[in-house]
């Protein structure tokens, strides 16, 4: 746990600007409980505070996290980096890249959706299953054809992630205070 203390107390890190996501998972099976972030570079100190609370209490897919759930939670912070435009919708590697897609839905509206690098692996998806799931996540309701997939604009990225359980955090709370 000393590693977390060193990371969190590094003042130059707190001044760092980066896109980031905060993910909450619960239980032994690590079910998703909230995940929200930004692709805009933010000062880490500000971004962590904002997105830790937003992902815990305002992810519209879930009810707000309750005090009764604290002891079963894990939180992950993903710092996003190495953004690259993909040549096509298959120009990324499962487990290495997160992907953000832009597409037009069946009504012609521009939509976006993203998965962090671990999602496809955790779900056991191949590239096409991942793209199809992202299209649905982003609101595409039509039939997904090869032409729809080819129309996707893909951006791939990597992330550095740190995860801590509530128990580990509480055991080391005094050490984490800088």
Q: Does residue 3 have a pLDDT over 80?
A: no
> Per residue in 39-86, pLDDT tens?
999 999 899 999 999 999 999 999 999 999 999 999 999 999 999 999
Q: Does residue 4 have a pLDDT over 50?
A: no
The confidence score (pLDDT) of residue 45 equals 87
- Whole-angstrom distance, CA of residue 66 vs CA of residue 91: 40
Q: Where does the pLDDT of residue 133 fall: very low under 50, low under 70, confident under 90, or very high at 90 and above?
A: very high
Tokens of 64: 């707000």
Q: What pTM, to 2 d.p., does this model score?
A: 0.85
25-38 burial: b if 16+ Cβ within 10 Å, else e: bbeeeeeebbbbbb
Question: In terms of DSSP H, where are the helices of 37-163?
Answer: 44-57, 119-123, 127-137, 146-150
- Whole-angstrom distance, CA of residue 45 vs CA of residue 50: 9
Element housing 8 (H / E): helix 2-9
> Per residue in 6-47, pLDDT tens?
455 556 666 789 999 999 999 999 999 999 999 999 999 899
The confidence score (pLDDT) of residue 1 equals 34
- Whole-angstrom distance, CA of residue 24 vs CA of residue 56: 7
Contacts of 24 (CB under 8 A, 6+ apart): 32, 33, 34, 35, 55, 56, 65, 73, 74, 75
Domains and CATH numbers, the chain: 2-81+159-176 (3.30.700.20), 82-157 (3.30.1490.150)
Rounded average pLDDT over 117-131: 97
> Per residue in 101-116, pLDDT tens?
999 998 899 999 999 9
- Whole-angstrom distance, CA of residue 174 vs CA of residue 153: 46
**1 or 26, which is more confident:** 26
- Whole-angstrom distance, CA of residue 26 vs CA of residue 10: 28
Closest-CA residue to 127 (of 79, 84, 88) = 88
- Whole-angstrom distance, CA of residue 127 vs CA of residue 146: 13
The confidence score (pLDDT) of residue 176 equals 60
Contact between residue 176 and residue 8 where contact means Cβ atoms under 8 Å apart: yes
The confidence score (pLDDT) of residue 31 equals 94
């Amino acid at each position: 746990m000393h590693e977390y203390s060193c990371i969190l107390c590094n003042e130059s890190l707190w001044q760092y600007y980066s896109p980031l996501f905060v993910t909450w998972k619960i239980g032994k099976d690590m079910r998703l409980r909230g995940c929200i972030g930004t692709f805009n570079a933010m000062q880490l100190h500000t971004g962590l505070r904002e997105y830790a609370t937003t992902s815990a209490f305002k992810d519209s897919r879930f009810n707000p996290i309750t005090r009764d759930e604290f002891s079963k939670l894990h939180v992950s912070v993903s710092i996003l980096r190495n953004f690259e435009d993909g040549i096509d919708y298959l120009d990324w590697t499962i487990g290495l890249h997160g992907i953000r897609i832009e597409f037009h839905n069946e009504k012609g509206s521009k939509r976006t959706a993203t998965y962090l690098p671990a999602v496809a692996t955790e779900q056991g998806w191949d590239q096409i299953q991942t793209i199809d799931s992202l299209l649905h996540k982003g609101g595409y309701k039509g039939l997904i054809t090869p032409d729809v997939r080819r129309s996707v604009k893909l951006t791939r990225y990597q992330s550095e992630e740190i995860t801590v359980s509530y128990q580990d955090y509480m055991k080391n709370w005094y050490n984490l205070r800088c």
